[in-house]
Chains A and B, each alone.
Chain A
Amino acid sequence: MHEMALMGGVFDIIKQYTADLPDKKVTRVTLVVGEMTNAVPEALEAAFEVYAKGTAVEGAELVIRRIPLTACCTACGWQGKVEEHMFICPRCSGLGLEIRSGRELYVESLEVD
């Protein structure tokens, strides 16, 4: 359950970005969470509720945008989705797959009203 710690980071960022908007309410928070992170969306949602309570974020919608795990092959240039965490190139069987997406864990945007 490190999602509580992650959500602490989210709220630090929210605080920083809304510091000069004291009268505004945050109505939506959009997070981007890659497939190959250990952050579970349901646990993030539960942590979000806990942190939001009694703040300008209470009642806001949490949007979690999931990003698939993709890689490219350093040997043959293949690019595509990594299935079942198999880091072996489906075209040339090369072992040098580099992750292109799927490790994201960031706050994309806030909607304030």
Chain B
Amino acid sequence: MEIQVNEGILNLNERVALENKRLFGENGLFVINIMGSPGAGKTTVLEKTIDILVNSVRLAVIEGDIYTSKDARRIEKHGVPVKQINTGGACHLDAKMVSGALGEIDLRHVDLLIIENVGNLVCPVEFNLGEDIKIAVLSITEGDDKPLKYPLLFRESAAVILNKMDLIDFTDIDMDSLRSDIKKINPGVEIFEVSARTGKGLDEWARWLIKKVREKNG
């Protein structure tokens, strides 16, 4: 006997993600989901971004990590509320994990919630968390072939932060080809070239982000 099912494998996650999104909307929160490889510089970009934004936007951070709270401790030093999620082996955050963490954040007093996903170019992209936008962080030392190798992340992201631009002279990267591959996959995407280490380029990214937050919060 054949049973017709036609049910999405991610339906349960999507339902919780929608519930998160509703909660974010009610509280006037703009939410970003930051993804990228381990070592791309997601946490450093985040630390520097917090320093730029902290006086103009009320921030909170959710840190995803498989086992440790190293990143959360780094973020804490910048004076913003941070909640650690340990996935205990899982390679991505899902909507339920985020939902569980939301109870410990006073959402009414936050304008921008930043979720740093587990370092991984593949798995996190499939799991919506209820965020407004996804952001990809790619360091130029990873090579210019990465967008075409991992197209889904670049297709789904509203902005791509190209980090470690201070190291460009030590790489053979073809920036034109990198930018053009990203634009082919996602013509509408914003691309920011930054060095989280020196701070160069981060103002432009932060301005763009503030604009997005204000657009939602009115």
- CB pair A107–B126 under 8 Å, yes or no, is no
Output the residue of A12, A17, A86, A111 with the most chain B CB within 10 A.
A86
B residues near A, CB below 8 A?
1-13, 90-92, 94, 122-123, 125-127, 148, 151-152, 155, 184-188
7 pairs of A and B residues whose beta carbons are closest in the complex: A95-B187, A2-B123, A85-B151, A9-B9, A107-B5, A110-B3, A106-B8
The one of B123, B184, B186 in contact with A38, judged by C-beta atoms closer than 8 angstroms, is B123
Give chain A residues whose Cβ lies under 8 Å from the Cβ of B10.
Answer: 6, 9, 105
Give Cα A88–Cα B186 distance, bound, in whole angstroms. 9
6 extra interface residue pairs, beta carbon distance < 8 Å, beyond A109-B3, A111-B1, A111-B2: A2-B127, A5-B123, A13-B7, A87-B187, A105-B9, A106-B7
A residues near B, CB below 8 A?
1-2, 5-6, 9-10, 12-13, 17-18, 24, 31, 36-39, 84-88, 95-96, 105-113
The one of A13, A39, A95, A108 in contact with B126, judged by C-beta atoms closer than 8 angstroms, is A39
A-B pairs under 8 A by CB, number = 92
Q: Which residue on chain A has the smallest CB distance to residue B185?
A: A85
- CB pair B6–A86 under 8 Å, yes or no, is no
Give chain A residues whose Cβ lies under 8 Å from the Cβ of B125.
Answer: 38
Output the residue of B94, B125, B185, B188 with the most chain A CB within 10 A.
B185
- CB pair A109–B4 under 8 Å, yes or no, is yes
- CB pair A10–B9 under 8 Å, yes or no, is yes
Knowing A105-B8, A111-B1, the reply to whether A86 touches B184 (Cβ < 8 A) is yes
Give Cα A107–Cα B4 distance, bound, in whole angstroms. 9
Task: With both chains docked as a complex, state the minimum distance between the C-beta of B186 and any C-beta of chain A, in angstroms.
Answer: 7
- CB pair A37–B152 under 8 Å, yes or no, is yes
- CB pair A6–B155 under 8 Å, yes or no, is no
Q: Which residue on chain B has the smallest CB distance to residue A33?
A: B9
- CB pair B6–A108 under 8 Å, yes or no, is yes
A-B contact list, 28 entries, CB within 8 Å = A1-B123, A2-B126, A9-B9, A9-B11, A9-B13, A10-B9, A13-B7, A17-B5, A18-B3, A36-B151, A36-B152, A38-B123, A85-B148, A85-B151, A85-B185, A86-B184, A95-B187, A95-B188, A106-B8, A106-B9, A107-B5, A109-B2, A109-B3, A110-B3, A110-B5, A111-B2, A111-B3, A112-B1
- CB pair B123–A109 under 8 Å, yes or no, is no
Give chain A residues whose Cβ lies under 8 Å from the Cβ of B187.
Answer: 87-88, 95-96
Q: Which residue on chain B has the smallest CB distance to residue A106?
A: B8
Q: Which residue on chain A has the smallest CB distance to residue B3?
A: A110
- CB pair A88–B184 under 8 Å, yes or no, is yes
Task: With both chains docked as a complex, state the minimum distance between the C-beta of B15 and any C-beta of chain A, in angstroms.
Answer: 12
- CB pair A106–B94 under 8 Å, yes or no, is no
